[in-house]
Amino acid sequence: MKQPLACWVVVLGAAASAQDAPPIKPVVSMAPAPVVTITQGKASPVPLSFRVARGYHINSNQPKSEFLIPTALKISATTDIVIGGTTYPDGHDMSFAFAPDEKLNVYTGDFEVDVSVRPLRSVQPGKYIVRGNLKYQACDRAACYPPQQLPVSFEVRIGKAAPRAHKNPPQSPHSHK
């Protein structure tokens, strides 16, 4: 049996008022990432720059409480490009009116996350787009909002590796007389 549309509007309106409404504009944005050239078989960091909008903060990757949602970058794995470790910056300890006796470890303003990218030796040279999401929870001085995900993408250029050196068999010093 189909539900009338008015019924769903009332249900959705009640659910929305149960939580603080998220900010209208995005709280976190990503600057265009530089195209990094990486040699086949070698790892290289790719720096990703983010900005938290003025008046907001997001939890760092290592918040001080297990109840806080950490900022986390998840990169989709590809078959020929290995995503290694992700390096997050240290957060800043700050106090807020909603918890004046507790310092929270947060990111504000600009921050950079480095992603280690290692193409396999077998990957074909060329340009590749790597995609993922930055998951974060934004707060202002009065409230925290539902967790959000920012789509992330960056391009890497894979360069051809030098041919592997072949070991020559040892030669006798007497053979060159």
Q: Report pLDDT digits (tens) over 141-163.
A: 888 889 999 999 999 999 998 87
23 confidence band (pLDDT: 50, 70, 90): low
In-domain check, residue 10: no
Q: For 52-109, write each residue's pLDDT tens digit.
A: 999 999 999 999 888 889 999 999 877 889 999 999 999 999 887 777 788 889 999 9
Q: How many Å apart are CA 114 and CA 49, to the nearest integer?
A: 9
Strand partners, 136: 148
Count of domains forming the chain = 1
Contact 156, 98 (CB under 8 A): no
This prediction has a pTM of: 0.77
Q: Which domain holds residue 85?
A: 21-159
- Contact of 135 with 152, CB cutoff 8 Å: no
Domain of 140: which CATH number?
A: 2.60.40.1250
pLDDT of residue 18: 35
**Does 6 reside within a domain?**
no
